[in-house]
């Protein structure tokens, strides 16, 4: 049964304005739904509610602004529906564009930082391990919990901004240490080192992981020495697309998993854990699931879900090696990376080689692609998952190197031996 403090009840009753009252009531209602006994203070928020899906979200944000609502903790913003930096052209009609702009402005007026990225953790926003925060955007939630060790549930649109205004979140789920323990051990040590060391493995493994674990918490053995921050980012994004994954542990890599037993809450937890051995055929099936197209046609390439880090753009530049893409090639990233690319002239050079940068948004959340049919190639498990439904294009999945070679050749070029 939810118990609110006197201060919280006063907030919900409108003592600090209508907007704060709406936010407090939404937080309390979420707590009641999820069986939380109380609210807890949060250190920061990452807000996924500023993406335009239709007028309703704009109207809600403006109702909060009209009610005088302001965030009471530091809050970053996930992508919007517009490229405010102006790298790419968003094909929204005039009315939708205006509603999307009003929505983005409303969130900025509530005091949110205009980061406009789905990888805030690579834009300088990294809460310390153990901190309670309220983060939205499924890949950011997975990264925040798993790689940073901060504590957040999977905050949906509207609850994230409500928590940021109220400065509180429902105390349940992944905020509680006892709910962060792994109950499943995933043994990946039987996979070849060549596979585990390849970039293409991580989104495929993440896709398999999400399907196999759903929302259960697992600890993976056998990835120590292969994991990098960008690889864990790709794993989490894919797992949070194919399943309800909000937290995963990687033994010897992530902060709550120095070893398998610790990740499981002790030797008894490890002994009781369900063990899954992941093998080549399981990963081949997951890789096959990511591609929905047949044949060797590729009409466009899109990378950057989650938003590319500077390292990933540097790798793109290295693989392109001075050549030019013959088909549209979209590289989605945040303004934090764009400013670094502008500083050394790299953006202009890559644009001359056929790369279209997309800032503040991405190609599956707003209409940017030139066509609504054909085949999109990507190295992102998350793009592969959402592109068919959101853009109409069929998908070919491949490594970044495959994407670059396909773009230069104008048809599918893919190294498939990795999976055999």
Partner 1 sequence: MELTAEILIPSEDPAEGEVLALSAPISFWGGVDPKTGIIIDARHPERGECVAGRVLALPGTIGSSSASAVLLELIHAGKAPAAILMAEPDAILLLGVVVAREMGWATPPALRLAAADQAPLAGRRVALEGDRIFVLGEAGARP
- Piece of 7-15, 25-33, 301-309, 402-410 that binds partner 1 (CB under 8 A): 25-33
Instruction: Verify binding: residue 154, partner 1, rule CB under 8 A.
Output: yes
Give the number of other CB atoms < 10 A from CB of residue 136: 27
Instruction: Verify binding: residue 385, partner 1, rule CB under 8 A.
Output: yes
Q: Which of these, 253, 248, 230, lies nearest to 380 by C-alpha position?
A: 230
Nearest CB to partner 1, comparing residues 67 and 354? 67
Considering only 9, 53, 91, 274, the residue that binds partner 1 (CB under 8 A) is 53
Strands 39-41 and 168-170: antiparallel
User: 401 near 321, Cβ under 8 Å?
Assistant: no
Distance CA 393, CA 375 (A): 5
Distance CA 168, CA 27 (A): 8
Instruction: Verify binding: residue 164, partner 1, rule CB under 8 A.
Output: no
What are the two backbone dihedrals, phi and then psi, of residue 39, each rounded to the nearest 5 degrees?
A: -100, 155
Q: Which of residues 168-207 bind partner 1 (CB under 8 A)?
A: 170
Close Cβ partners of 9 (under 8 Å, ≥ 6 residues apart): none
Q: Rounded to the nearest whole angstrom, what is the least distance from the CB of residue 164 to partner 1 in the complex?
A: 14
Q: Tokens 């197209």 — which residue?
A: 293
Instruction: Verify binding: residue 264, partner 1, rule CB under 8 A.
Output: no
Q: Tokens in use for 76?
A: 């970053």
Instruction: Verify binding: residue 110, partner 1, rule CB under 8 A.
Output: no
Instruction: Verify binding: residue 156, partner 1, rule CB under 8 A.
Output: yes
Burial class (CB in 10 A: 0-12, 13-18, 19+), 112: buried
User: 8 near 168, Cβ under 8 Å?
Assistant: yes
Considering only 155, 201, 202, 248, the residue that binds partner 1 (CB under 8 A) is 155
Instruction: Verify binding: residue 370, partner 1, rule CB under 8 A.
Output: no
Instruction: Verify binding: residue 388, partner 1, rule CB under 8 A.
Output: yes
Instruction: Verify binding: residue 68, partner 1, rule CB under 8 A.
Output: no
Q: Which of residues 339-368 bind partner 1 (CB under 8 A)?
A: 364
Q: Tokens 């993406």 — which residue?
A: 51
Instruction: Verify binding: residue 51, partner 1, rule CB under 8 A.
Output: yes
Nearest CB to partner 1, comparing residues 275 and 288? 288
Q: Rounded to the nearest whole angstrom, what is the least distance from the CB of residue 8 to partner 1 in the complex?
A: 17
Distance CA 112, CA 136 (A): 14
CA dihedral 54, 56, 57, 63 (to 10 degrees): 150
Close Cβ partners of 228 (under 8 Å, ≥ 6 residues apart): none
- Piece of 200-208, 217-225, 326-334, 383-391 that binds partner 1 (CB under 8 A): 383-391
- Piece of 28-36, 126-134, 278-286, 318-326 that binds partner 1 (CB under 8 A): 28-36
Total number of residues binding partner 1 (CB under 8 A)? 48
Nearest CB to partner 1, comparing residues 53 and 371? 53
Considering only 44, 57, 65, 303, the residue that binds partner 1 (CB under 8 A) is 57
Q: Rounded to the nearest whole angstrom, what is the least distance from the CB of residue 252 to partner 1 in the complex?
A: 28
Considering only 11, 49, 174, 222, the residue that binds partner 1 (CB under 8 A) is 49
Distance CA 104, CA 1 (A): 36
Close Cβ partners of 149 (under 8 Å, ≥ 6 residues apart): 129, 130, 254, 255, 256
Binding site residues, partner 1, CB under 8 A: 22, 25-26, 29-30, 33-35, 48-49, 51, 53-57, 59-60, 63, 136-138, 141, 153-160, 170, 210, 214-215, 240-244, 289, 292, 364, 385-386, 388-390
């Amino acid at each position: 049964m939810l118990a609110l403090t006197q201060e919280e009840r006063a907030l919900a009753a409108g003592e600090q304005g209508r907007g704060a009252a709406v936010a407090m009531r939404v937080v309390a209602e979420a707590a009641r739904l999820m069986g939380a006994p109380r609210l807890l203070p949060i250190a920061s928020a990452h807000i996924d509610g500023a993406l335009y899906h239709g007028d309703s979200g704009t109207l809600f944000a403006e109702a909060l602004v009209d009610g005088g609502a302001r965030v009471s903790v530091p809050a970053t913003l996930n992508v919007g529906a517009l490229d405010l930096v102006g790298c790419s052209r968003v094909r929204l009609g005039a009315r939708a564009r205006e509603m999307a702009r009003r929505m983005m402005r409303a969130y900025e007026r509530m005091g949110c930082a205009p980061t406009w990225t789905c990888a805030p953790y690579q834009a300088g926003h990294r809460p310390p391990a153990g901190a309670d925060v309220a983060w939205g955007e499924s890949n950011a939630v997975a990264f925040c919990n798993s790689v940073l060790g901060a504590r957040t549930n999977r905050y949906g649109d509207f609850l994230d901004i409500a928590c940021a205004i109220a400065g509180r979140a429902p105390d349940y789920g992944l905020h509680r240490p006892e709910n962060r323990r792994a109950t499943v051990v995933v043994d990946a040590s039987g996979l070849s080192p060549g596979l585990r060391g390849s970039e293409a493995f991580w989104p495929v493994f993440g896709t398999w992981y999400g399907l196999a674990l759903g929302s259960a918490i697992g600890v993976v053995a056998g990835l120590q020495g292969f994991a990098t921050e960008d690889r864990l980012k790709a794993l989490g994004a894919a797992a949070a697309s194919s399943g309800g994954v909000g937290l995963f542990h990687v033994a010897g890599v992530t902060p709550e998993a120095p070893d398998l037993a610790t990740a499981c809450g002790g030797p008894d937890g490890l002994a009781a854990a369900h063990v899954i051995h992941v093998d080549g055929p399981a990963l081949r099936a997951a890789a096959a699931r990511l591609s929905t197209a047949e044949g060797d046609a590729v009409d466009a390439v899109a990378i950057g879900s989650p938003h590319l880090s500077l390292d990933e753009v540097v790798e793109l530049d290295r693989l392109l090696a001075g050549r030019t893409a013959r088909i549209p090639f979209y590289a989605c990233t945040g303004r934090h990376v764009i400013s670094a690319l502008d500083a050394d002239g790299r953006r202009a050079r890559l644009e001359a080689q056929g790369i279209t940068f997309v800032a503040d948004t991405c190609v599956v959340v707003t209409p940017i692609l030139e066509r609504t049919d054909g085949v999109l190639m990507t190295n992102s498990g998350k793009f592969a998952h959402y592109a068919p439904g959101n853009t109409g294009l069929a998908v070919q999945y491949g490594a970044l190197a495959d994407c670059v070679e396909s773009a230069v050749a104008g048809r599918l070029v893919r190294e498939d031996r990795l999976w055999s």
